[in-house]
Structure 1
Amino acid sequence: MNTPTPGALAEKILSGVGGSENIESLTHCATRLRFQLHDGEKVDQATLDALDGVMGTVSQSGDRFQIVIGGAVAGVYSDIMNLPSMTGGATPRPQSDAEVKAEIRAKGRGRLAWLDNFFEYLSDSFRPLLGVLLGASLIIAIASMLDAFGIVDFRSADKSATWVFVDSMWRSVLYFLPIMVAYNAAKKLKIDPWVGATVMAAVMTPNFTGMIGSKTPGVTTTTNATLGTSESVAHVFGLPMQLNDYGGQVFVPLLMVALLALVYRGLKRIFPENVQMVFVPFFSMLIMIPLTAFLIGPMGVWAGNGLGTGLSWLNGNAPIVFAIVIPMLYPFLVPLGLHWPLNALMLVNINTLGYDFIQGPMGTWNFACFGATAGVLLLSIRHREKDMRQTATGALAAGLLGGISEPSLYGIHLRFKRIYPRMLVGCLVGGVIIGVLGGVNTKAFAFTSLLTIPVFDPMIKYIIAISAAFFTSMALVYFADYRTKEERVQANAERDAAEAAAGGKAVVPAQTVAADDRELVAVGAAATATGASAGTVAGAAAAAGTPVAAGEAPAARKGLELTAPVAGRVVGLGEVEDPVFASRALGEGVGIEPSDGHVVAPVDGELITVADTGHAFGIRTANGVEVLIHVGIDTVKMQGEGFDVRVAAGQKVSAGDLLAEVDLGAVRAAGHPAVTLMTVLNTADMTSVEPHTGQDVTAGTPVVTVLR
């Protein structure tokens, strides 16, 4: 499989989504291209899914569309934006009144469109921060490992200036997260993102936070004797304002920006365009900073604390239920991008409780996911699947070292339906273990990878749970396979064909073989030819030995004789109505117009393939000659009706043994030619394959001579 050049992939993606004129906006995250389209109906999703370099696609309401690329997404995004047709970027095209009305009606019909918009708002507010959050989590992991090995006391209250500085490297991300979230949220709602960031920063300045617990005039601090907590209230303009440290808060900026968007757009309607740059930001700040400090900030803190308290209650009162629900839920949330709200709660827990109890159970889902990928990798090595081996290796590295599951999900798991049920068993096993052992906490926001194991406490419980999840999923996927039996046969045949081509033999691509004949290629290394195309098989056979006409003696050289599988008139493959057989794409051989439906083995050997429908049989002889017997043309469509199969795959047969009884009348009544075809699939490996045509024969009469 040849991966297209970056530019070619960009052009194909652009064409698949309906061209540049159909793109309203295009962004990307860590693994996905995210399109807002004018008309989602113009997307050719099947073509996009088939592209090399595309892991999968996700269609969403509101003409939103995602294309999963993986780690190379930034490069593909850049290639698309640099295409000539994308000059100036993707901008909304003018819409007619009718189109505007139709769009409004369409949104009204989408009962869950508001829910999609809500989660899209949450996701796009956090998604661009993925890189810095991952970077911070790895810094924490390194420091925690040093602490675990006794090199430095990471939790000490009197750390040296060196480690205080190291702390600032990761705390910068978590503390100033509200400003970053506010910027992204404002950008998502298409208002000035710097206004959103400024409003949030106003309540995080040293001037503001310095009032907490201080003796500043107008500030009163009370202590709750029962809980041991203190609360500061400032009297500003005669009004009480609860003081909070908003570092690490995520609900406050999300609530604030949602209201800011309304204020900002309202101000734009009030002020003339030539003065908007000055007065819209000015009045937005003048209105929203007090609103945030007096109302939205305390409400956001309350909401976050309330959700965290509720989950904490569940974790404390039903820990097994909690530990099972989290890992079983994540496999369905992540593909839809709906996992960010839970990630936000993790940050709230760390900020309010000083620790988080969600990430431990969540880690078992991640490692179950990575275990399933490891199972696929082992199978790809066993079956010599180069492309899948590369995909699985990259996905496993991204998971185990970075804690990122999307490459595994979109590159592998969602493509093969057999993986998910087995992966969920791993999630269940890991969740049960964490629940039974009493839960796992962490004091840091960390992507669950091998590198971040030391940040979890108790670490040994966490290791046991994620190991069980990983190896359970890996074993189930490996021993059950991620492909069905039929898919495995076809995949192995295509692999053999590719290997034969790499060895200098021309092969017939699987896509050129009729769908009902693909399973037949699995009998051997695939249909091969010695020339530049499938049609040269006949030429190779002719060069090695001229076909023998009726009445002539077989070639003098001793060879393997293939006998007629049915009685009837022997004809050359060029005379049959099937273009695949006629072109010798499935090897040299003969066709027999049958006079009865008694089908027998033409040679001694092992039955490698027996079609469930009874229309085809593959036999491999002791010295490696691969013979195909195909009864009728397109008879697979009969679904076995009229075919009484007497053998099974893996069975040893001798020449003359009964393979099947076929009702030729039923075949002809169904409109299918009854000609029975017999070919040598690995003709290219033979010195010669000599058909003896133009004669009437009984079953068991030699009709093909094969020389190794």
Structure 2
Amino acid sequence: MAGSTASQIIDAVGGPRNVKSLTHCATRLRFELGDSTRVDQGRLDTMPGVLGAVPQAGNRYQVVIGGAVASMYSEIMALPEMKDLAAGSSSSDDDGSAGSGPRSNAEVKAEAHAKGRGRVGWLDSFFEYLSDSFRPILGVLLGASLIIALVNLLISVKVVTGDEANTSLMFIKAMWKGVFYFLPIMIAYNAAKKLKVDPWLGGTIMAALMTPQFTGLSSTSTWKGVTHCVENTTLGTSSCSTTVFGLPMQLNDYSGNVFVPLLMAAVLALVYHGLQRIIPESVQLVFVPFLSMIIVTTLTAFLIGPLGVWAGNGIGVGLAWMNAHAPFVFAILIPMLYPFLVPLGLHWPLNALMLMNIQSLGYDFIQGPMGVWNFACFGATAGVLVISLKDRDQVMRQTSIGALAAGLLGGVSEPSLYGIHLRYKLVYRRMLIGCFVGGVVIAVLGWLFPSVIASGATVHGVTTTAFAFTSLLTIPVFNQMWVYAIAIAVAFFVSMGLIIVLDYRTPEQKAEVLAAVAKRDAERAAGTTAVAGSASAVAAPPASAADHASSSAAPTTVVAAPIDGHVVSLDDAGDAVFASRALGEGVGIQPTASTATVTAPVAGVLQTVAETGHAFGIRTDDGVEVLVHVGIDTVKMNGDGFTVSVKKGDRVAVGDALATVDFDKVKAAGYSTTTLMTVLNTASLGGVTPRTGADVKAGDPVLDVTR
């Protein structure tokens, strides 16, 4: 389809009438659709500018864009066909017909009841609530973490002093402390907006608990005989209580808290929407906010606030205990879990815990191990970049450069995950080893060299007092910075090395890339030759018959059958990819024996040997690249029935054994036994001629290659 990427995305999700709502997070467009079965998943997966598409429960769909998601969202909303959605009206009904303007509350309620959410729809909603409560403030959190990193770096190199008398330093601290001090108000605003409540009302209620009047209640000098305070030796804080309206009220410092505004906003939504149902519309503007403020502020001060602080402190103390008493488990568990949590958006609770730890404990110990995962992820991307440079794969080179820059400088892993890692499943096998080794390093060094926090207490592991996006720029925010730096370096280079040595693609995927590169090079060469030929045609004398005879005597290579069987065309082999000639011209051989030894069809060096024994790539000394693929989809057998006789880098002669295959077992597993053989660099050669329709023995010629 012609048109912009924005219009192509809308078309691929079923058209504008299928879009009920559209929002976006840091990297993804979040659609709520009328009918998710209309989505063209394959088209989205291959669309330029789209890193991936993720279906969710309840007709929800996420399209991963990366760092440019905000501009893509704006482009989509600016499309003429999206004007109804941009204006806030319904863009479709359930039957796909055009909407007729904003729907009434009764219609919306009836639709919600009739829609039948998926079994995990509530879980999707919960994590969307968390995500959308934090997403709008990620920028200021990142900015604050970079300011902290810069300050720590300047102090460490003694450019500035870290004492409280340094007014310049205090001014700079105010820049980032403002973000964390007023974080509850920001989160309350976003959470209320997500729940379709006046966001200023949510921010106002949290602000009330942070005013000098409320915080002054804990001052015993002001309220003698009324306020009682108890020291918490575990957290190094004091807990005070007083009496308001004759009822006991626990007083807390809510600055930097994240649990309380999330709980408060949920209760506010119930109260707010309940009041809207019972108060006449003509006076809702006055009385809904008025009563909501009184009811929810009181509930938060007496109940929700203390409950949120108690829950947050309890979880923080529990994790701190685990970090202190089982540091190896903790330091390895976090980086091993994150690769599976982030793609699903399930990492938000841990992010909330990091902020809670900073508020309650004064430091966080989760971000150190989390940084190990991030750098293992970036190391895998760096390995992909190295291979793409070697293979001259322009598409993957551009993807990996962008993803690596976003990771190393911004600490954002989604471009790597959705652009590369989740598309090539072998990446995870390599990357998880980097996560594990990096976790072991941070566990061992963190135990041997504990850090000392501001209170003077000793903590095992790497800590930080800031919420940091774990990138190269934020390394200075970590206590025991050298321990953290070593751990992330190990994770990065282990993942990178494994990708470079073992590759991130299956033999078929690699062969397809090499074939595409060869085809591109051949087309460029043909274009250059055509231009040169047309320029010299006027001056060139007519060719003689002898010249034609001489030019037609091109060198040839004969490719032999690797097994006994019947030779068929790729069109009849039963695999659409091979039939398309994307992997070059070749033949299929239907084996006659129940067990056979697959032999080398040409002499050369093995460039590829699949661990599963189903595929082999051989390059001859004169540059012919031959792929032998035993069976169709047999990679799914994971080597069962295949015994490999060679390894990558071995030199073989025609007829040398590559593997022994039990074709009866292949049939029993439900897979085709047809063995496919192609010349991968067909496009750069003079020609490849198949010899089909005959019964052959291993070693008989089946392909003639003209160079």
The question of a shared fold, defined as TM-score above 0.5 by the shorter chain, is answered with yes
1:369-448 superposed matches below 5 A: 369-436=377-444, 437=447, 438-448=460-470
Q: 2:222 aligns with which of 212, 216, 219?
A: 216
> Do residues 497 (structure 1) and 506 (structure 2) align?
no
1:597-612 superposed matches below 5 A: 606=604
Matches of 1:56 and 1:330 in 2, distance apart? Answer: 19
Matches of 1:364 and 1:680 in 2, distance apart? Answer: 39
2:145 maps to what in 1?
A: 137
> Do residues 477 (structure 1) and 499 (structure 2) align?
yes
- Structure 1 337/292 Cα, relative in aligned 2: closer, same or farther at 3 Å? same
- Structure 1 224/380 Cα, relative in aligned 2: closer, same or farther at 3 Å? same
Give, in angstroms, the shift of residue 11 of structure 1: 1.3
Q: 1:158 aligns with which of 157, 165, 174?
A: 165
- Structure 1 310/94 Cα, relative in aligned 2: closer, same or farther at 3 Å? same
2:178 maps to what in 1?
A: 172
Matches of 1:351 and 1:208 in 2, distance apart? Answer: 18
Q: 1:58 aligns with which of 34, 54, 57?
A: 54
> Do residues 269 (structure 1) and 277 (structure 2) align?
yes
Superposed CA deviations along residues 67-98 of structure 1, whole A, max 9, x for unmatched, are 11111111211111111110032644456999
- Structure 1 206/587 Cα, relative in aligned 2: closer, same or farther at 3 Å? closer
2:346 maps to what in 1?
A: 338
User: Structure 2 counterpart of 1:410, which letter?
Assistant: Y
2:155 maps to what in 1?
A: 147
Question: Are the equivalent residues in 1 in contact too, given 2:365–2:462 (CA < 8 A)?
Answer: yes
Give, in angstroms, the shift of residue 103 of structure 1: 5.7
Partner of 2:48, secondary structure, is coil
- Structure 1 392/582 Cα, relative in aligned 2: closer, same or farther at 3 Å? closer
Question: Are the equivalent residues in 2 in contact too, given 1:177–1:247 (CA < 8 A)?
Answer: yes
Matches of 2:633 and 2:332 in 1, distance apart? Answer: 46
> Do residues 313 (structure 1) and 321 (structure 2) align?
yes
Give, in angstroms, the shift of residue 657 of structure 1: 12
> Do residues 104 (structure 1) and 129 (structure 2) align?
no
> Do residues 46 (structure 1) and 42 (structure 2) align?
yes
1:686-701 superposed matches below 5 A: none
- Taking structure 2 as the reference length, the TM-score comes to 0.76
Task: Give ranges in structure 2 of 5+ residues lacking alignment.
Answer: 96-105, 448-459, 532-542, 562-568, 588-598, 636-643, 659-671, 691-698
Give, in angstroms, the shift of residue 207 of structure 1: 2.5
Give, in angstroms, the shift of residue 140 of structure 1: 0.8
User: Structure 2 counterpart of 1:203, which letter?
Assistant: L
Give, in angstroms, the shift of residue 146 of structure 1: 0.7
> Do residues 248 (structure 1) and 269 (structure 2) align?
no
- Taking structure 1 as the reference length, the TM-score comes to 0.76
Give, in angstroms, the shift of residue 658 of structure 1: 13
User: Structure 1 counterpart of 2:6, which letter?
Assistant: A
Give, in angstroms, the shift of residue 299 of structure 1: 1.3
Question: Are the equivalent residues in 1 in contact too, given 2:515–2:680 (CA < 8 A)?
Answer: no
Matches of 1:325 and 1:658 in 2, distance apart? Answer: 44
- Structure 1 251/417 Cα, relative in aligned 2: closer, same or farther at 3 Å? same
Partner of 1:372, secondary structure, is helix
Question: Are the equivalent residues in 1 in contact too, given 2:327–2:443 (CA < 8 A)?
Answer: yes
Q: 1:121 aligns with which of 101, 119, 129?
A: 129
User: Structure 2 counterpart of 1:327, which letter?
Assistant: P
Question: Are the equivalent residues in 2 in contact too, given 1:545–1:689 (CA < 8 A)?
Answer: no
> Do residues 10 (structure 1) and 6 (structure 2) align?
yes
Matches of 1:200 and 1:580 in 2, distance apart? Answer: 59
- Structure 1 175/607 Cα, relative in aligned 2: closer, same or farther at 3 Å? closer
- Structure 1 604/560 Cα, relative in aligned 2: closer, same or farther at 3 Å? farther
Matches of 1:239 and 1:587 in 2, distance apart? Answer: 81
Partner of 1:412, secondary structure, is helix
Partner of 1:240, secondary structure, is strand
Matches of 1:335 and 1:610 in 2, distance apart? Answer: 31
User: Structure 2 counterpart of 1:452, which letter?
Assistant: T
Partner of 1:88, secondary structure, is helix
- Structure 1 72/114 Cα, relative in aligned 2: closer, same or farther at 3 Å? same
- Structure 1 362/651 Cα, relative in aligned 2: closer, same or farther at 3 Å? closer
Question: Are the equivalent residues in 1 in contact too, given 2:232–2:238 (CA < 8 A)?
Answer: no
Matches of 1:429 and 1:629 in 2, distance apart? Answer: 35
Partner of 2:164, secondary structure, is coil
**Rg larger for:** 1
Matches of 1:127 and 1:441 in 2, distance apart? Answer: 24
User: Structure 2 counterpart of 1:20, which letter?
Assistant: P
Question: Are the equivalent residues in 2 in contact too, given 1:620–1:627 (CA < 8 A)?
Answer: yes
1:456 maps to what in 2?
A: 478
1:69 maps to what in 2?
A: 65
Matches of 2:232 and 2:308 in 1, distance apart? Answer: 24
Partner of 1:382, secondary structure, is helix
Give, in angstroms, the shift of residue 232 of structure 1: 3.3
1:364 maps to what in 2?
A: 372
1:667 maps to what in 2?
A: none
Give, in angstroms, the shift of residue 501 of structure 1: 2.2
Partner of 1:356, secondary structure, is coil
Give, in angstroms, the shift of residue 143 of structure 1: 0.8
- Structure 1 609/285 Cα, relative in aligned 2: closer, same or farther at 3 Å? closer
Matches of 1:29 and 1:314 in 2, distance apart? Answer: 32
- Structure 1 48/219 Cα, relative in aligned 2: closer, same or farther at 3 Å? farther
- Structure 1 242/587 Cα, relative in aligned 2: closer, same or farther at 3 Å? closer
Matches of 1:356 and 1:491 in 2, distance apart? Answer: 44
- Structure 1 69/224 Cα, relative in aligned 2: closer, same or farther at 3 Å? same
Deviates most, 490-499 or 83-92: 83-92
Q: 1:78 aligns with which of 74, 81, 84?
A: 74
- Structure 1 702/557 Cα, relative in aligned 2: closer, same or farther at 3 Å? farther
Question: Are the equivalent residues in 2 in contact too, given 1:16–1:43 (CA < 8 A)?
Answer: yes
1:525 maps to what in 2?
A: none
Give, in angstroms, the shift of residue 635 of structure 1: 10
Question: Are the equivalent residues in 2 in contact too, given 1:221–1:231 (CA < 8 A)?
Answer: no
Q: 2:508 aligns with which of 482, 486, 494?
A: 486
Identity of aligned residues (%): 56
What number of residue pairs does the alignment pair up?
Answer: 635
1:519 maps to what in 2?
A: none
User: Structure 2 counterpart of 1:77, which letter?
Assistant: Y
- Structure 1 622/410 Cα, relative in aligned 2: closer, same or farther at 3 Å? closer
User: Structure 2 counterpart of 1:27, which letter?
Assistant: T
Matches of 1:564 and 1:473 in 2, distance apart? Answer: 38
Superposed CA deviations along residues 472-523 of structure 1, whole A, max 9, x for unmatched, are 11111111100012221221111121222233449xxxxxxxxxxxxxxxxx
Question: Are the equivalent residues in 2 in contact too, given 1:136–1:173 (CA < 8 A)?
Answer: yes
- Structure 1 45/701 Cα, relative in aligned 2: closer, same or farther at 3 Å? closer
Matches of 1:423 and 1:616 in 2, distance apart? Answer: 24
Question: Are the equivalent residues in 1 in contact too, given 2:228–2:242 (CA < 8 A)?
Answer: no
User: Structure 2 counterpart of 1:41, which letter?
Assistant: T
